[in-house]
A = this chain, B = another copy of it.
Amino acid sequence: MKTYCINLVRVAAIVLIAISWTVPALAQEPLPSWNDTAPKKAIVTFVERVTRQGSPEFVPEAERIATFDNDGTLWAEQPIYFQLALALDRVKELAPLHPEWKDQEPFSSLLKGDLKGALAGGEPAIFEIVTVTHSGMTTEEFEKIVRDWITTAKHPVTGRLYTEMVYQPMLELLAYPRANGFKTFIVSGGGIDFMRVFAERVYGIPPEQVAGSSGKLAFELRDGKPLLMKLPTLNFNDDKAGKPVGIQMHIGRQPIAAFGNSDGDLQMLEWAKGGGGVRFALIVHHTDAEREWAYDRTSSIGRLDKALDAAQAEGWTVVDMKNDWKNIFPFGSK
């Protein structure tokens, strides 16, 4: 049998290359856009505690479920929810087909450019605007409407695409638990069909890991081709006490970590904290009027009042955007 002489350094190099193929790149410092303040430390400590093999706090990968709100948590929500901006654009496009809207609120005000007047009707007005613009078409047609809009419409303040208005620190906060065996889900009051169009590309979250509000659907065959029609009826409101329900329906496991920013997330955070073992709840507090927006207890969009009290009482992690985040958006700030 022939033997060969081999340089040990070369063998070591080959072994190292082989290892680098098999062991996922262990992240450099996690959460680079976060300052070294309490929230970053709390996140890293939590992830390390539940992933430490042999520790009594260890959580198996299958149970490492983390749920994230979308509006105001993963992307901005000012001056109005982005999905509502889509709905308003659609009302203008559809107006020629609806001459009756001229004398009918909230459409009448809206078409005159009076957004405040249109929204004076509160949630019923918003619900009507969303309903007429989100039903009466197939799921495939709606997906195309969203895709066309989301790749062209610009944010009124920054002039950026809405999908650029995502928080860089939160993109890192999706990636970091994921790199540690977590499965990340969106659980949002926003429309499930709306978010699924961009969630995979923007957040790395596939459609099957998006839970949200929805209208009823009807299956039918049209000329032999199956389709799903979007009906003008609410199916599920995935907000407030609906969030734990949406989580159970969609995921079927209690999350061990949840991330939100408003009173709409309170029950989701309670639900995540309510199970046994080590749990994590985090609230993004919008405190940076210069780089983003500053609002909380009295805002009509993303009100944070009861959930802020709960966070303080329960010791949940509260992110002060101004002090805890180095960057806001991938492109910088407002």
Contact = CB atoms under 8 A, between A and B. Distances in A.
Interface of A: 1-9, 11, 18, 21-22, 62, 65, 139, 183, 185, 192-193, 196, 200, 206-210, 214, 217-219, 221, 225-228, 235, 241-245, 248-253, 267, 270-271, 273-274
Contact of A214 (B6, B22, B249): B249
| Identical copies in the complex | 2
B226 A271 contact: yes
Nearest to A199: B252
A225 B207 CA distance: 31
A232 B242 CA distance: 17
Contact of A200 (B7, B62, B241, B242): B62
A1 B6 contact: no
Contacts of A2: 8
A192 B247 CA distance: 13
B3 A271 contact: no
B219 A245 contact: yes
Nearest to A210: B252
A207 B253 contact: yes
B219 A267 contact: yes
12 contacts: A1-B8, A3-B7, A4-B5, A4-B6, A139-B248, A192-B249, A208-B250, A210-B252, A218-B241, A218-B245, A219-B271, A228-B248
Contacts of A62: 200, 206
Given A4-B11, A193-B252, 8 more contacts: A3-B7, A207-B253, A208-B253, A217-B248, A218-B245, A219-B243, A219-B267, A226-B270
